[in-house]
Amino acid sequence: MSAPVALRALRRGFHSSARRLALTRMAMPAMSPTMTEGGIAHWKVKEGESYSAGDVLLEIETDKAVIDVEAPDDGVLAKIIANEGAKNVAVGSPIAILAEQGDDLSAATQFAEDALKEGAPKPKQEAAEEPPKPTEAPSKPAPASQAQSVPKPEIPKGDRIFASPIAKKIALERGIPLAKVKGSGPEGRILREDVEKFKPEAAAAPSASASAESDYVDLPTSNMRRTIGQRLTESKVQAPHYYVTVDITMDKVLKLREAFNRSLAEKDKAAKLSVNDFIVKAVAKACEDVPEANSAWLGDVIRQYNKVDVSVAVATPTGLITPIVKDVGRKGLATLSAEAKALAKKARDGKLAPQEYQGGTFTVSNLGMFDVSHFTAIINPPQSCILAVGSTVPTLVPAPETEKGFKTVNKMSVTLSSDHRSVDGAVAARWMSAFKGYLENPLTFML
């Protein structure tokens, strides 16, 4: 469901008795079929400002990405209910009041209160709200002189720090405390350049309290990180994992890749095949040979897919995400390489659309570029298999036909994690044999 359609579907009007207003409630839209809550990353339009159809009203943080929400038609942002930084806002909860051009906005606050009273849960804000008034037993009124001498309690100021999303992201990556950064934006808002220019103060002689405070840093968990933890815990606990490892000789892939890249460079210098492109293609070919591995455990049934949609794990600043290269079996190496690179960039920028990371029939996780020789991966449910790919390293192997009796070949170790409920050990072994065969004879991709 697109952002404008979701927004239009969730808008509901409230009209005053004078019928001179067209104030409308804007509710938290469902950016995907499985979304139940989200966060408010950034409002692009301020209260009282007008906007046109197609303008981005705000950015919503889901469990996988930050998604723009566009306006379906012209209007005015009369009142913001869920401020920037609000977390765990349930789908359908009111987040703003919209109006039409020329409307009297004086009643927007009351409309917002009425919207919250309708039963939708109030979003959790990072800022501290006005503290609840203590319940006091009824007592006799104090004399006027005594009442004047009692100071009024101060309302504590909220501890929320106003900063742009990119400033928060950079500060989190560099370990910079936003509380110590002076913002140069409107009303002291911390901007990207403020974080980049921040220089920590020279450390004074450490005291006992300062030493205790520097022992650790608590990093807040994002919606994405919480979802990753929940899903992978469920997968590891509920799915009976088992692992099959093989070593693959990659010499022919490396030579073919070199030849292809020379040819591609003549047409487009930016085009370049990676080893992972060959791996993804070999995954699809092996799944075509052993379709039992291209499946999902759904409880009552095992769903076996006719197309191979490969989820490729990509590391982002907020966690791991798996954009999907769809129908890999019918695509050439150059096409799937371009698609994989474009999806990886969108993933790192947090701009993936829900349909670009939800679904998939088989997952590949490659840590070879980090000089990791071997690892095991947790299955991405409800998929049945995930392939963990290590680095390619020169290895001595026996070669009786040579003068020395040995030779050096490039070996890559891969481990297939399988769900024993849907994929038996013999099936995993057949799949690995097919996968190994394609990579050791990559010209079969062309057949």
Instruction: Note whether 305 and 360 are within 8 A (CB).
Output: no
Residue 374, pLDDT > 50, answer yes
Residues 108-120 pLDDT 10s: 777 777 777 764 4
- Give the residue ranges of DSSP H helices in 239-298: 251-267, 275-289
Q: Is residue 112 part of a domain?
A: yes
Burial class (CB in 10 A: 0-12, 13-18, 19+), 19: exposed
Residue 161, pLDDT > 90, answer no
Average pLDDT over residues 333-355: 91
d(CA 431, CA 286): 6
Query: Highest mean pLDDT range out of 146-160, 392-406, 410-424?
Result: 410-424
Residues 383-392 pLDDT 10s: 999 999 999 9
Claim to verify: residue 113 and residue 241 sit in the same structural domain: no
Q: In a 3-state reduction of DSSP, which class is residue 420?
A: coil
Q: Is residue 352 part of a domain?
A: yes
Residue 329, pLDDT > 90, answer yes
Last residue of a domain, one of 97, 117, 137: 117
Q: What is the DSSP string of 96-135?
A: EEEE-TT--GGGHHHHHHHHHHTTPPPPB-SS--PPPPPP
Average pLDDT over residues 28-35: 77
Claim to verify: residue 377 and residue 248 sit in the same structural domain: yes
Average pLDDT over residues 83-87: 86
Among 176-180, 200-204, 222-226, the minimum mean pLDDT is found in 200-204
How many Cβ atoms sit within 10 Å of the Cβ of residue 48?
12
Structural domain of residue 332, as residue ranges?
237-446
Q: Is residue 261 part of a domain?
A: yes
Residues 134-156 pLDDT 10s: 444 444 444 443 434 434 333 33
> 113: which 2 tokens?
């209160």
- Of 407, 383, 385, 411, nearest in space to 396 by CA: 407
pLDDT above 90 covers a percentage of the chain that reads 40
Q: What is the CATH number of the domain that holds 16?
A: 2.40.50.100
Residue of 77 and 270 predicted with greater confidence: 77
- Of 412, 107, 77, 124, nearest in space to 251 by CA: 412
Average pLDDT over residues 306-335: 93
Residue of 360 and 205 predicted with greater confidence: 360
Instruction: Note whether 350 and 318 are within 8 A (CB).
Output: yes
Last residue of a domain, one of 85, 117, 149: 117
Q: Is residue 157 part of a domain?
A: no
Residue 6, pLDDT > 50, answer no
Task: Please report the pLDDT score of residue 33 as a whole number.
Answer: 67
- Residue type at 56 in one-letter notation: V
Residues with catalytic roles: 420, 424
Q: Is residue 207 part of a domain?
A: no
Task: Please report the pLDDT score of residue 21 as a whole number.
Answer: 52
Task: Please report the pLDDT score of residue 447 as a whole number.
Answer: 67
Dihedral angle sign, alpha carbons of residues 190, 194, 200, 201: negative
Last residue of a domain, one of 66, 95, 117: 117
Residue 304, pLDDT > 90, answer yes
Query: Highest mean pLDDT range out of 1-15, 36-50, 131-145, 291-305?
Result: 291-305
Residue 246, pLDDT > 50, answer yes
Q: Is residue 242 part of a domain?
A: yes
Q: Is residue 424 part of a domain?
A: yes
Average pLDDT over residues 349-356: 87
Q: Is residue 190 part of a domain?
A: no
Instruction: Note whether 31 and 67 are within 8 A (CB).
Output: yes
Q: In a 3-state reduction of DSSP, which class is residue 146?
A: helix
Domain count, the chain: 2
pLDDT category of residue 129 using cuts at 50, 70 and 90? very low
Mean pLDDT of the chain, nearest integer? 81
Q: What is the CATH number of the domain that holds 258?
A: 3.30.559.10
HSE value, Cβ hemisphere, 13 Å, CA-based, for 232: 12
